Amino acid sequence: MSPVLLFSIVVVYFIVLLVVAWYTGRNSSNESFFIGNRNSNWMLVAFGMIGTSLSGVTFVSVPGDVAKNSFSYFQVTIGYLIGYLVIAFVLLPLYYRLKLTSIYNYLETRFGVASYKTGASFFILSRTLGATARLYLVVNILQEAIMNQFGIPFWVTTLVILLMILLYTFEGGVKTIVYTDTLQTTCMLLGLVLCTAYILHSMDISMGESINRMSQQGMTRIFFGDPDSKLFFLKQILGGAFITITMTGMDQEMMQKNISVKTLKDAQKNVVTLSLILMVVLLLFLFLGGLLYLYAEQLNVDVKGDKLFPNLALNHMPAYMSIIFIVALISALFPSADGAITALTSSYCIDILGINRKAGLDEKQKKSTRQRVHLVFTFIFLLFVLVFKWISSASMIGVILTVASYTYGPLLGLFSFGILTNRRANDKAVPVIAVVAPLVCLLLDTYQATLLGDFKIGLELLLINGLLMFTGLWIFSKPAEKTLL
């Protein structure tokens, strides 16, 4: 496949995004940048959030992981559904009642300024690490498929892509992202369906026959019953539920799109619709993964993990399928990166700098501050992608879930303590507890063989982290005189 043609496709795709950004970003304000003026259409938000929830990691890593872990990821997906229901009927009513621009304002109302800053800081850390890990995976594929042919170094490729994202999010923010994510999700899902259909047609087998062949090779197993295994179904389902609650319901990037919807009822419809569609889409990704391994076996191609899908699509399929793959891949790339940079900009400006609280700042000064912060986070993304390039990993989805277990645990503990109890935590102790809890988890994870024998800690590490945070808050708290938020 000609790298010049692939590069041209990427450029055309970006131009389309710029046109959408120009149209939606006209006459934008800080309010439209942060929460879309609370006027977003719930159906567009729900559909666009599929792309944000999946990302390039899902597009490449989930299919690539099938040979190693079968369809066990669907256990996590069942947990996602449970988590989304908690978000829809527990967290969203709270956020709408308080009319939040940043969801971390809740922590200030409930506990105090230190808790508020701690929650926002852990979100910034979590989203920066998670988004740059996702970005690295897709940029690395584009680098190997296209840019290496031109002799362009990896850091230049990363910088150019980040500048592209900066250009179309700089003015419109969430208002623009709601529309660009819808476009990109459409392209990604079309790519998924077309790639699946092509392989079935190329191998001349039906869906039923392909599932039968996958089953014979042990790839279709979903539920695992060994309690000591990381893949034990209760661990995976619980882990998936709490990952969704934290990585979506307590994440400013994901929730700023939800709270940009006109009413609570529409926001709830958005989340429930998203959860159901996501289950179907992830099952299709797993099915595609099995197909890819069958296809690779037929072609005598020995490639596994994250490299499987890109290798087959770019080297063993017709040119038009390579183009479809690249378009789908970059469609998976941009929603996970553009929303992250926008949300991080919003959180830092509102939560850390407090620009909405400073009476002396007019709209022009606020906008100038916001734009400078936006530029700084773009540079930070560049640095972290280069770090992930240096680290490298055969399966980035494992890296992302592990990072989430450490960084989102304190958020889980904070929000849970605030919602489930009426006790008043010691606000000054919150930052210390939030650091200690992940460190204890790190020690537990590092020495789990010595401490736990054959029992393997998996996704439940996030739950353990949250429980440690919750326990620490309880110890350094006192009963409230009356029920709080």
DSSP character at residue 316 = S
Whole-number average pLDDT of the chain: 81
Higher-confidence residue: 56 or 412? 412
Instruction: Say if CB 205 and CB 55 are below 8 A apart.
Output: no
Mean pLDDT across 274-302? 90
List pLDDT tens digits, range 442-476. 898 888 878 777 777 777 888 899 999 999 999 99
Mean pLDDT across 356-374? 74
pLDDT for res 87: 92
Higher-confidence residue: 412 or 360? 412
- Greatest CA separation for the chain: 70
Give the residue among 403, 401, 421 at the shortest CA–CA distance from 471. Answer: 421
Higher-confidence residue: 292 or 34? 292
pLDDT for res 34: 47
Q: How far apart are CA 28 and CA 42, in angstroms?
A: 20
Helix (H) or strand (E) holding 424: strand 424-425
Token pair recorded at residue 183: 């476009």
CA 237 to centroid of chain Cα atoms:
18
List pLDDT tens digits, range 63-98. 888 888 888 889 989 999 999 999 999 999 988 888
Q: How far apart are CA 299 and CA 316, in angstroms?
A: 8
